[in-house]
Structure 1
Amino acid sequence: MVTAKRIEYPVDGTTMVGHLALPGGTDRRPAVLIAHEGPGITDHQRERADRLAELGYVAFALDYHGGGRFIEDREEMFARIDELLAAPDRMRALTGAGLAVLTAEPRADTSRLAAIGYCLGGTMVLELARSGADLKAVVGFHPGLTSTRPQDSANITGKVLVCVGSEDPFSPVEQRLAFEEEMRAAGVDWRMHLHGGALHSFTHPGLEPDPEARPGIGYHRPSAERAWRAMLDLFDEVFPTMV
Protein backbone atom coordinates (compact mmCIF):
# COMPACT_ATOMS: atom_id res chain seq x y z
CA MET A 1 0.00 0.00 0.00
CA VAL A 2 1.41 3.37 -1.04
CA THR A 3 1.77 6.14 1.53
CA ALA A 4 2.10 9.68 0.19
CA LYS A 5 2.63 13.00 1.89
CA ARG A 6 3.31 16.65 1.19
CA ILE A 7 6.85 17.78 2.00
CA GLU A 8 7.82 21.41 2.54
CA TYR A 9 11.51 22.23 2.36
CA PRO A 10 13.54 25.45 2.04
CA VAL A 11 15.83 26.48 -0.81
CA ASP A 12 17.54 29.86 -0.41
CA GLY A 13 14.70 31.29 1.63
CA THR A 14 11.93 29.92 -0.60
CA THR A 15 9.59 27.20 0.63
CA MET A 16 9.28 24.40 -1.88
CA VAL A 17 6.37 21.97 -1.77
CA GLY A 18 7.09 18.45 -2.97
CA HIS A 19 5.37 15.08 -2.88
CA LEU A 20 6.90 11.96 -1.31
CA ALA A 21 5.50 8.51 -2.06
CA LEU A 22 6.51 5.38 -0.18
CA PRO A 23 5.87 1.76 -1.10
CA GLY A 24 4.42 -0.71 1.36
CA GLY A 25 6.73 -2.38 3.85
CA THR A 26 9.55 -1.12 6.02
CA ASP A 27 12.68 -2.07 4.07
CA ARG A 28 14.95 0.31 2.20
CA ARG A 29 14.20 0.62 -1.49
CA PRO A 30 15.75 2.21 -4.59
CA ALA A 31 14.76 5.87 -4.75
CA VAL A 32 13.73 8.09 -7.66
CA LEU A 33 13.74 11.88 -7.85
CA ILE A 34 11.16 13.44 -10.21
CA ALA A 35 11.45 16.94 -11.72
CA HIS A 36 8.29 18.46 -13.17
CA GLU A 37 7.56 20.20 -16.46
CA GLY A 38 8.18 23.91 -16.98
CA PRO A 39 4.84 25.26 -15.70
CA GLY A 40 5.15 23.62 -12.28
CA ILE A 41 4.30 20.63 -10.12
CA THR A 42 0.79 19.23 -10.60
CA ASP A 43 -1.19 16.14 -9.72
CA HIS A 44 0.31 14.58 -12.84
CA GLN A 45 3.79 14.53 -11.30
CA ARG A 46 2.42 13.46 -7.94
CA GLU A 47 0.70 10.54 -9.62
CA ARG A 48 3.99 9.57 -11.27
CA ALA A 49 5.58 9.40 -7.82
CA ASP A 50 2.68 7.29 -6.58
CA ARG A 51 2.97 5.01 -9.61
CA LEU A 52 6.66 4.45 -8.95
CA ALA A 53 5.91 3.72 -5.29
CA GLU A 54 3.39 1.10 -6.41
CA LEU A 55 6.28 -0.54 -8.26
CA GLY A 56 8.37 -0.58 -5.09
CA TYR A 57 10.41 2.61 -5.35
CA VAL A 58 10.66 5.49 -2.91
CA ALA A 59 9.78 8.52 -5.07
CA PHE A 60 9.95 12.25 -4.49
CA ALA A 61 8.47 14.83 -6.86
CA LEU A 62 10.37 18.04 -6.21
CA ASP A 63 9.27 21.65 -6.69
CA TYR A 64 11.61 24.08 -8.43
CA HIS A 65 9.39 27.18 -8.60
CA GLY A 66 8.42 27.47 -4.94
CA GLY A 67 5.16 27.18 -3.07
CA GLY A 68 4.08 24.29 -5.26
CA ARG A 69 2.79 26.85 -7.73
CA PHE A 70 1.79 26.34 -11.33
CA ILE A 71 2.66 29.17 -13.74
CA GLU A 72 -0.40 29.82 -15.89
CA ASP A 73 0.93 32.72 -17.95
CA ARG A 74 2.99 31.46 -20.91
CA GLU A 75 5.24 34.52 -21.06
CA GLU A 76 6.02 34.24 -17.36
CA MET A 77 6.67 30.53 -17.73
CA PHE A 78 9.07 30.95 -20.65
CA ALA A 79 10.86 33.76 -18.81
CA ARG A 80 11.32 31.42 -15.84
CA ILE A 81 12.58 28.66 -18.12
CA ASP A 82 15.08 31.01 -19.79
CA GLU A 83 16.25 32.22 -16.38
CA LEU A 84 17.00 28.68 -15.25
CA LEU A 85 18.56 27.53 -18.52
CA ALA A 86 21.07 30.36 -18.20
CA ALA A 87 21.98 29.39 -14.63
CA PRO A 88 23.25 25.79 -14.37
CA ASP A 89 24.35 26.30 -10.77
CA ARG A 90 20.80 27.31 -9.87
CA MET A 91 19.36 24.27 -11.62
CA ARG A 92 21.79 22.02 -9.80
CA ALA A 93 21.00 23.65 -6.46
CA LEU A 94 17.25 23.21 -6.93
CA THR A 95 17.51 19.57 -7.95
CA GLY A 96 20.18 18.93 -5.33
CA ALA A 97 17.82 20.21 -2.65
CA GLY A 98 15.18 17.78 -3.86
CA LEU A 99 17.71 14.97 -3.83
CA ALA A 100 18.61 15.86 -0.24
CA VAL A 101 14.94 15.46 0.76
CA LEU A 102 14.81 12.09 -0.97
CA THR A 103 17.99 10.76 0.62
CA ALA A 104 16.88 11.95 4.07
CA GLU A 105 13.94 9.55 3.89
CA PRO A 106 14.93 6.43 5.94
CA ARG A 107 13.26 4.11 3.41
CA ALA A 108 15.47 5.41 0.58
CA ASP A 109 18.50 3.30 -0.27
CA THR A 110 21.04 6.02 -0.96
CA SER A 111 23.27 3.59 -2.86
CA ARG A 112 20.49 3.09 -5.43
CA LEU A 113 19.34 6.47 -6.69
CA ALA A 114 17.85 7.64 -9.98
CA ALA A 115 16.46 10.92 -11.27
CA ILE A 116 13.88 11.51 -13.97
CA GLY A 117 12.54 14.73 -15.40
CA TYR A 118 10.05 16.06 -17.90
CA CYS A 119 10.55 19.05 -20.22
CA LEU A 120 12.68 21.57 -18.28
CA GLY A 121 12.76 19.03 -15.46
CA GLY A 122 14.59 16.67 -17.81
CA THR A 123 17.19 19.36 -18.46
CA MET A 124 17.52 19.91 -14.73
CA VAL A 125 18.16 16.27 -13.83
CA LEU A 126 20.77 16.14 -16.57
CA GLU A 127 22.42 19.16 -14.91
CA LEU A 128 22.21 17.36 -11.57
CA ALA A 129 24.04 14.45 -13.16
CA ARG A 130 26.64 16.82 -14.63
CA SER A 131 27.31 18.07 -11.09
CA GLY A 132 28.60 14.59 -10.21
CA ALA A 133 25.62 13.48 -8.13
CA ASP A 134 25.70 9.77 -7.33
CA LEU A 135 22.87 8.67 -9.60
CA LYS A 136 22.73 5.22 -11.11
CA ALA A 137 20.29 6.35 -13.82
CA VAL A 138 19.12 9.64 -15.26
CA VAL A 139 16.09 9.83 -17.56
CA GLY A 140 14.90 12.87 -19.49
CA PHE A 141 11.49 12.80 -21.14
CA HIS A 142 11.34 15.39 -23.96
CA PRO A 143 14.11 17.38 -22.22
CA GLY A 144 16.06 20.33 -23.47
CA LEU A 145 19.36 18.84 -24.56
CA THR A 146 21.65 21.85 -24.45
CA SER A 147 23.87 22.91 -21.57
CA THR A 148 26.04 25.95 -20.98
CA ARG A 149 28.60 23.57 -19.47
CA PRO A 150 28.66 20.49 -21.70
CA GLN A 151 32.18 19.68 -20.53
CA ASP A 152 30.72 18.84 -17.11
CA SER A 153 29.16 15.71 -18.58
CA ALA A 154 32.50 14.09 -17.75
CA ASN A 155 31.19 14.11 -14.15
CA ILE A 156 28.18 11.91 -14.96
CA THR A 157 28.50 8.63 -13.06
CA GLY A 158 25.29 6.83 -14.05
CA LYS A 159 23.55 5.72 -17.21
CA VAL A 160 21.59 8.26 -19.24
CA LEU A 161 18.39 7.82 -21.22
CA VAL A 162 16.68 10.62 -23.12
CA CYS A 163 13.36 10.13 -24.87
CA VAL A 164 12.71 12.72 -27.56
CA GLY A 165 9.93 13.29 -30.07
CA SER A 166 11.06 13.45 -33.69
CA GLU A 167 8.76 16.48 -34.20
CA ASP A 168 9.74 18.31 -31.00
CA PRO A 169 10.66 21.87 -32.05
CA PHE A 170 12.48 22.38 -28.75
CA SER A 171 14.92 19.53 -29.49
CA PRO A 172 15.78 19.91 -33.18
CA VAL A 173 18.14 17.62 -35.05
CA GLU A 174 21.20 19.83 -34.52
CA GLN A 175 20.68 19.78 -30.75
CA ARG A 176 20.26 16.02 -30.75
CA LEU A 177 23.50 15.62 -32.68
CA ALA A 178 25.32 17.99 -30.33
CA PHE A 179 24.05 16.02 -27.33
CA GLU A 180 25.30 12.79 -28.91
CA GLU A 181 28.73 14.32 -29.34
CA GLU A 182 28.68 15.63 -25.77
CA MET A 183 27.88 12.20 -24.35
CA ARG A 184 30.43 10.52 -26.61
CA ALA A 185 33.19 12.94 -25.65
CA ALA A 186 32.42 12.48 -21.95
CA GLY A 187 32.45 8.68 -22.16
CA VAL A 188 28.93 8.41 -20.75
CA ASP A 189 26.87 5.22 -20.98
CA TRP A 190 23.93 6.79 -22.78
CA ARG A 191 21.03 6.08 -25.07
CA MET A 192 18.58 8.26 -26.97
CA HIS A 193 15.14 7.03 -28.01
CA LEU A 194 13.65 9.01 -30.86
CA HIS A 195 9.87 8.65 -30.99
CA GLY A 196 8.58 9.07 -34.52
CA GLY A 197 5.78 11.57 -34.95
CA ALA A 198 5.86 12.73 -31.33
CA LEU A 199 5.83 16.39 -30.31
CA HIS A 200 7.11 18.09 -27.17
CA SER A 201 5.40 16.99 -23.91
CA PHE A 202 4.31 13.74 -25.56
CA THR A 203 4.03 12.10 -22.13
CA HIS A 204 1.39 14.46 -20.73
CA PRO A 205 -2.25 13.28 -21.04
CA GLY A 206 -4.66 16.11 -21.65
CA LEU A 207 -2.26 18.12 -23.78
CA GLU A 208 -3.85 17.09 -27.04
CA PRO A 209 -2.12 18.53 -30.11
CA ASP A 210 -3.42 22.03 -30.92
CA PRO A 211 -1.25 23.83 -33.50
CA GLU A 212 -2.82 27.18 -32.72
CA ALA A 213 -2.99 27.12 -28.92
CA ARG A 214 0.12 24.99 -28.29
CA PRO A 215 2.31 24.77 -31.40
CA GLY A 216 4.77 21.89 -31.24
CA ILE A 217 3.24 20.42 -28.08
CA GLY A 218 0.97 17.40 -27.74
CA TYR A 219 0.35 14.11 -25.98
CA HIS A 220 1.16 10.92 -27.89
CA ARG A 221 0.04 7.88 -25.95
CA PRO A 222 2.09 5.18 -27.78
CA SER A 223 5.30 7.16 -27.28
CA ALA A 224 4.44 7.93 -23.64
CA GLU A 225 3.94 4.24 -22.89
CA ARG A 226 7.09 3.21 -24.76
CA ALA A 227 9.18 5.82 -22.96
CA TRP A 228 7.88 4.68 -19.56
CA ARG A 229 8.75 1.06 -20.39
CA ALA A 230 12.22 2.16 -21.52
CA MET A 231 12.73 3.88 -18.16
CA LEU A 232 11.68 0.76 -16.27
CA ASP A 233 14.00 -1.33 -18.43
CA LEU A 234 16.90 0.94 -17.46
CA PHE A 235 15.91 0.70 -13.80
CA ASP A 236 15.93 -3.09 -14.07
CA GLU A 237 19.45 -2.80 -15.45
CA VAL A 238 20.88 -0.52 -12.77
CA PHE A 239 18.90 -1.94 -9.83
CA PRO A 240 19.32 -5.68 -10.45
CA THR A 241 18.34 -6.65 -6.92
CA MET A 242 14.95 -4.90 -7.24
CA VAL A 243 12.10 -7.32 -6.53
Structure 2
Amino acid sequence: MTDNSPLNSTAEKAIRIREIQYQDSTGQNLVGLFAYPEGESNLAAVLVYPEWWGRNDYIESRARELAEYGFAALAIDMYGDKKIAEDASQANEYMMATFEPENVIVDRATAALNTLREQPEVDASRIAAIGFCYGGKVALDLARSGAELKAVATFHANLSAQTPAQEGTFKAEVVVAHGEEDSMVSLDDVEAFKQEMQNAKVKHRVDLYPNAKHGFTNPAADENARKNDVDLGYDALAEAESMDALYALLDRVLK
Protein backbone atom coordinates (compact mmCIF):
# COMPACT_ATOMS: atom_id res chain seq x y z
CA MET A 1 0.00 0.00 0.00
CA THR A 2 1.36 3.43 -0.91
CA ASP A 3 0.29 6.92 0.14
CA ASN A 4 0.64 9.83 -2.24
CA SER A 5 1.71 13.20 -0.89
CA PRO A 6 -0.96 15.10 1.05
CA LEU A 7 -2.77 17.84 -0.82
CA ASN A 8 -3.77 21.17 0.63
CA SER A 9 -7.46 21.77 1.26
CA THR A 10 -9.21 25.01 2.12
CA ALA A 11 -12.26 24.63 4.35
CA GLU A 12 -13.98 26.16 7.34
CA LYS A 13 -11.93 23.76 9.45
CA ALA A 14 -8.47 23.11 8.02
CA ILE A 15 -8.28 19.62 6.61
CA ARG A 16 -5.70 17.54 4.80
CA ILE A 17 -6.37 15.00 2.09
CA ARG A 18 -4.34 12.31 0.43
CA GLU A 19 -5.00 9.51 -2.00
CA ILE A 20 -4.21 6.02 -0.77
CA GLN A 21 -3.62 3.07 -3.07
CA TYR A 22 -4.46 -0.37 -1.70
CA GLN A 23 -5.52 -3.77 -3.03
CA ASP A 24 -8.29 -6.30 -2.53
CA SER A 25 -7.50 -9.99 -2.05
CA THR A 26 -7.15 -10.53 -5.82
CA GLY A 27 -4.63 -7.73 -6.22
CA GLN A 28 -7.09 -5.29 -7.82
CA ASN A 29 -5.75 -1.76 -7.35
CA LEU A 30 -8.12 0.53 -5.45
CA VAL A 31 -7.64 4.23 -4.73
CA GLY A 32 -9.31 5.91 -1.77
CA LEU A 33 -9.42 9.58 -0.82
CA PHE A 34 -8.51 10.10 2.83
CA ALA A 35 -9.51 13.34 4.56
CA TYR A 36 -8.82 14.39 8.16
CA PRO A 37 -8.58 17.49 10.36
CA GLU A 38 -5.12 18.94 10.02
CA GLY A 39 -2.79 18.33 12.95
CA GLU A 40 -5.09 15.93 14.80
CA SER A 41 -4.63 12.28 15.71
CA ASN A 42 -6.45 9.42 17.45
CA LEU A 43 -9.47 10.27 15.30
CA ALA A 44 -12.73 8.40 15.03
CA ALA A 45 -13.15 7.52 11.37
CA VAL A 46 -15.82 6.88 8.76
CA LEU A 47 -15.81 4.78 5.59
CA VAL A 48 -17.78 6.50 2.81
CA TYR A 49 -19.12 4.04 0.23
CA PRO A 50 -20.32 5.53 -3.07
CA GLU A 51 -23.38 5.49 -5.24
CA TRP A 52 -23.14 3.33 -8.35
CA TRP A 53 -21.42 6.25 -10.11
CA GLY A 54 -18.22 5.43 -8.20
CA ARG A 55 -15.78 7.57 -6.23
CA ASN A 56 -16.80 10.84 -7.82
CA ASP A 57 -16.87 14.44 -6.63
CA TYR A 58 -20.05 13.91 -4.64
CA ILE A 59 -18.63 11.11 -2.49
CA GLU A 60 -15.36 12.97 -2.05
CA SER A 61 -17.32 16.02 -0.84
CA ARG A 62 -19.00 13.88 1.82
CA ALA A 63 -15.58 12.72 3.06
CA ARG A 64 -14.38 16.33 3.23
CA GLU A 65 -17.49 17.34 5.19
CA LEU A 66 -16.81 14.61 7.73
CA ALA A 67 -13.23 15.83 8.10
CA GLU A 68 -14.38 19.41 8.55
CA TYR A 69 -16.67 18.17 11.32
CA GLY A 70 -13.77 16.46 13.08
CA PHE A 71 -13.66 12.87 11.83
CA ALA A 72 -11.22 11.11 9.55
CA ALA A 73 -12.95 9.77 6.44
CA LEU A 74 -12.07 7.54 3.51
CA ALA A 75 -14.02 7.90 0.26
CA ILE A 76 -13.98 4.45 -1.30
CA ASP A 77 -13.12 3.20 -4.76
CA MET A 78 -15.23 0.05 -5.32
CA TYR A 79 -14.51 -0.36 -9.04
CA GLY A 80 -10.70 -0.15 -9.15
CA ASP A 81 -8.28 2.44 -10.48
CA LYS A 82 -10.73 5.25 -9.60
CA LYS A 83 -13.14 4.30 -12.38
CA ILE A 84 -16.31 6.38 -12.35
CA ALA A 85 -19.43 6.30 -14.52
CA GLU A 86 -21.41 9.22 -15.85
CA ASP A 87 -24.28 7.29 -17.45
CA ALA A 88 -26.55 4.70 -15.90
CA SER A 89 -25.65 1.84 -18.25
CA GLN A 90 -21.95 2.16 -17.45
CA ALA A 91 -22.67 2.51 -13.74
CA ASN A 92 -24.82 -0.60 -13.80
CA GLU A 93 -22.09 -2.54 -15.61
CA TYR A 94 -19.47 -1.52 -13.05
CA MET A 95 -21.78 -2.26 -10.13
CA MET A 96 -22.93 -5.66 -11.35
CA ALA A 97 -19.32 -6.75 -11.80
CA THR A 98 -18.97 -6.51 -8.01
CA PHE A 99 -21.91 -8.86 -7.43
CA GLU A 100 -20.13 -11.82 -9.01
CA PRO A 101 -18.39 -13.67 -7.59
CA GLU A 102 -20.38 -13.25 -4.41
CA ASN A 103 -17.51 -12.12 -2.17
CA VAL A 104 -16.27 -9.13 -4.23
CA ILE A 105 -18.32 -6.52 -2.35
CA VAL A 106 -17.28 -7.68 1.11
CA ASP A 107 -13.70 -8.28 -0.04
CA ARG A 108 -13.28 -4.72 -1.31
CA ALA A 109 -15.23 -3.22 1.59
CA THR A 110 -12.98 -5.07 4.03
CA ALA A 111 -9.84 -3.95 2.21
CA ALA A 112 -11.01 -0.36 2.65
CA LEU A 113 -11.74 -0.93 6.34
CA ASN A 114 -8.28 -2.41 6.92
CA THR A 115 -6.69 0.48 5.03
CA LEU A 116 -8.53 3.05 7.13
CA ARG A 117 -7.49 1.30 10.33
CA GLU A 118 -3.83 1.51 9.28
CA GLN A 119 -3.76 5.29 8.91
CA PRO A 120 -1.65 6.86 11.68
CA GLU A 121 -4.26 9.56 12.36
CA VAL A 122 -7.02 6.99 13.06
CA ASP A 123 -8.21 5.27 16.22
CA ALA A 124 -8.89 1.82 14.81
CA SER A 125 -11.38 1.02 17.59
CA ARG A 126 -13.79 3.83 16.55
CA ILE A 127 -14.92 3.31 12.97
CA ALA A 128 -18.30 3.64 11.27
CA ALA A 129 -19.43 3.10 7.69
CA ILE A 130 -21.88 5.09 5.61
CA GLY A 131 -23.15 4.46 2.12
CA PHE A 132 -25.30 6.03 -0.55
CA CYS A 133 -27.49 3.90 -2.87
CA TYR A 134 -25.21 1.01 -3.93
CA GLY A 135 -22.77 2.10 -1.24
CA GLY A 136 -25.43 1.56 1.40
CA LYS A 137 -25.57 -2.10 0.45
CA VAL A 138 -21.78 -2.26 0.61
CA ALA A 139 -21.74 -0.80 4.13
CA LEU A 140 -24.50 -3.15 5.28
CA ASP A 141 -22.85 -6.20 3.73
CA LEU A 142 -19.61 -5.29 5.48
CA ALA A 143 -21.46 -5.21 8.80
CA ARG A 144 -23.30 -8.44 7.93
CA SER A 145 -19.90 -10.09 7.46
CA GLY A 146 -19.04 -9.42 11.10
CA ALA A 147 -16.80 -6.38 10.68
CA GLU A 148 -15.96 -4.39 13.79
CA LEU A 149 -18.00 -1.27 13.12
CA LYS A 150 -19.64 1.00 15.66
CA ALA A 151 -22.37 2.22 13.30
CA VAL A 152 -23.72 2.03 9.77
CA ALA A 153 -25.79 4.76 8.15
CA THR A 154 -27.37 4.41 4.71
CA PHE A 155 -29.08 6.85 2.38
CA HIS A 156 -31.53 5.76 -0.36
CA ALA A 157 -29.79 2.40 -0.22
CA ASN A 158 -30.19 -1.05 -1.69
CA LEU A 159 -31.05 -2.92 1.53
CA SER A 160 -31.02 -6.47 0.17
CA ALA A 161 -28.78 -9.16 1.62
CA GLN A 162 -27.23 -12.20 -0.04
CA THR A 163 -26.32 -13.36 3.47
CA PRO A 164 -28.77 -11.97 6.06
CA ALA A 165 -27.50 -10.53 9.33
CA GLN A 166 -26.97 -12.98 12.15
CA GLU A 167 -27.37 -12.29 15.83
CA GLY A 168 -23.97 -11.61 17.41
CA THR A 169 -22.23 -11.19 14.05
CA PHE A 170 -23.72 -7.84 13.03
CA LYS A 171 -22.16 -5.50 15.60
CA ALA A 172 -23.04 -2.02 14.30
CA GLU A 173 -25.97 0.16 15.20
CA VAL A 174 -27.89 1.10 12.03
CA VAL A 175 -29.75 4.19 10.86
CA VAL A 176 -31.44 4.03 7.44
CA ALA A 177 -32.64 7.12 5.58
CA HIS A 178 -35.21 6.24 2.92
CA GLY A 179 -37.47 8.25 0.65
CA GLU A 180 -41.14 7.27 0.63
CA GLU A 181 -41.28 7.92 -3.14
CA ASP A 182 -38.23 5.77 -3.91
CA SER A 183 -39.28 3.64 -6.91
CA MET A 184 -36.06 1.60 -6.87
CA VAL A 185 -36.21 0.38 -3.26
CA SER A 186 -39.81 -0.25 -2.24
CA LEU A 187 -41.40 0.14 1.16
CA ASP A 188 -41.83 -3.66 1.11
CA ASP A 189 -38.04 -3.89 0.77
CA VAL A 190 -37.72 -1.61 3.77
CA GLU A 191 -40.06 -3.80 5.81
CA ALA A 192 -38.06 -6.90 4.85
CA PHE A 193 -34.89 -5.16 5.99
CA LYS A 194 -36.46 -4.19 9.30
CA GLN A 195 -37.48 -7.81 9.82
CA GLU A 196 -33.91 -8.92 9.07
CA MET A 197 -32.58 -6.52 11.68
CA GLN A 198 -35.19 -7.61 14.23
CA ASN A 199 -34.39 -11.27 13.67
CA ALA A 200 -30.68 -10.57 14.25
CA LYS A 201 -31.45 -8.34 17.26
CA VAL A 202 -29.60 -5.40 15.69
CA LYS A 203 -30.26 -1.94 17.09
CA HIS A 204 -31.68 -0.03 14.14
CA ARG A 205 -33.89 2.82 13.03
CA VAL A 206 -35.47 3.60 9.68
CA ASP A 207 -36.29 7.23 8.93
CA LEU A 208 -38.79 7.73 6.11
CA TYR A 209 -38.83 11.03 4.24
CA PRO A 210 -42.13 12.02 2.59
CA ASN A 211 -41.98 12.88 -1.12
CA ALA A 212 -38.28 11.99 -1.35
CA LYS A 213 -37.07 9.90 -4.27
CA HIS A 214 -34.03 7.71 -4.82
CA GLY A 215 -30.84 9.76 -4.66
CA PHE A 216 -32.39 12.49 -2.51
CA THR A 217 -29.11 13.52 -0.82
CA ASN A 218 -27.27 14.22 -4.07
CA PRO A 219 -27.70 17.73 -5.57
CA ALA A 220 -26.87 16.21 -8.98
CA ALA A 221 -29.77 13.74 -8.79
CA ASP A 222 -32.15 15.79 -10.93
CA GLU A 223 -29.57 16.21 -13.69
CA ASN A 224 -28.65 12.51 -13.48
CA ALA A 225 -32.34 11.67 -13.81
CA ARG A 226 -32.73 13.89 -16.87
CA LYS A 227 -29.64 12.54 -18.63
CA ASN A 228 -30.38 8.88 -17.94
CA ASP A 229 -34.20 8.76 -17.85
CA VAL A 230 -34.19 7.24 -14.37
CA ASP A 231 -36.38 8.09 -11.38
CA LEU A 232 -34.04 10.13 -9.18
CA GLY A 233 -34.62 13.39 -7.36
CA TYR A 234 -32.83 15.75 -5.01
CA ASP A 235 -34.67 16.84 -1.86
CA ALA A 236 -32.89 19.55 0.15
CA LEU A 237 -35.03 19.08 3.27
CA ALA A 238 -34.59 15.31 3.34
CA GLU A 239 -30.88 15.74 2.73
CA ALA A 240 -30.51 18.18 5.63
CA GLU A 241 -32.58 16.11 8.06
CA SER A 242 -30.86 12.83 7.18
CA MET A 243 -27.42 14.43 7.53
CA ASP A 244 -28.40 15.80 10.93
CA ALA A 245 -29.40 12.26 11.92
CA LEU A 246 -26.07 10.94 10.65
CA TYR A 247 -23.99 13.34 12.69
CA ALA A 248 -26.12 12.74 15.78
CA LEU A 249 -25.45 9.01 15.39
CA LEU A 250 -21.71 9.48 14.88
CA ASP A 251 -21.42 11.87 17.82
CA ARG A 252 -23.13 9.35 20.06
CA VAL A 253 -21.34 6.14 19.06
CA LEU A 254 -17.87 7.35 18.05
CA LYS A 255 -17.05 10.09 20.54
* 1:8 has 2:24 as partner: no
* 1:45 has 2:71 as partner: no
Give the residue type in structure 2 aligned to 1:8. Answer: Q
Task: Provide the alpha-carbon RMSD of the alignment.
Answer: 1.7
Q: Show the counterpart of 1:56.
A: 70
Q: Show the counterpart of 1:135.
A: 149
Partner Cα distance (2:228, 2:57) in 1:
22
* 1:215 has 2:252 as partner: no
1:130–1:153 CA contact under 8 A, matched in 2? no
1:88–1:127 CA contact under 8 A, matched in 2? no
Number of positions where the alignment pairs a residue of Structure 1 with one of Structure 2: 240
Partner Cα distance (1:153, 1:49) in 2:
30
Q: CA deviation at 1:77?
A: 2.0
Ranges in structure 2 where 5+ consecutive residues have no aligned partner: 1-13
Q: CA deviation at 1:22?
A: 1.3
Q: TM-score, normalised by structure 2?
A: 0.88
Q: CA deviation at 1:80?
A: 3.2
Q: Show the counterpart of 1:103.
A: 117
Q: TM-score, normalised by structure 1?
A: 0.93
**Percent of residue pairs bearing the same amino acid type:** 33
Q: How does 1:106-185 map to 2 (within 5 A)?
A: 106-152=120-166, 154-185=168-199
* Range moving further from structure 2, 7-16 or 101-110: 7-16
Partner Cα distance (2:168, 2:134) in 1:
21
2:88–2:228 CA contact under 8 A, matched in 1? no
Give the residue type in structure 1 aligned to 2:250. Answer: F
Cα gap change, 1:211/1:45 in structure 2, threshold over 3 Å: closer, same or farther? closer
Partner Cα distance (2:150, 2:192) in 1:
23
* Range moving further from structure 2, 66-75 or 100-109: 66-75
- 3-state SS of paired residue (2:51): coil
1:153–1:182 CA contact under 8 A, matched in 2? no
Cα gap change, 1:219/1:238 in structure 2, threshold over 3 Å: closer, same or farther? same
Give the residue type in structure 2 aligned to 1:18. Answer: G
Q: Show the counterpart of 1:201.
A: 215
- 3-state SS of paired residue (1:218): coil
Q: CA deviation at 1:214?
A: 3.3
Q: CA deviation at 1:230?
A: 0.4
Partner Cα distance (1:154, 1:85) in 2:
25
2:156–2:177 CA contact under 8 A, matched in 1? yes
Cα gap change, 1:153/1:75 in structure 2, threshold over 3 Å: closer, same or farther? farther
* 1:82 has 2:125 as partner: no
Q: Show the counterpart of 2:247.
A: 232
1:32–1:115 CA contact under 8 A, matched in 2? yes
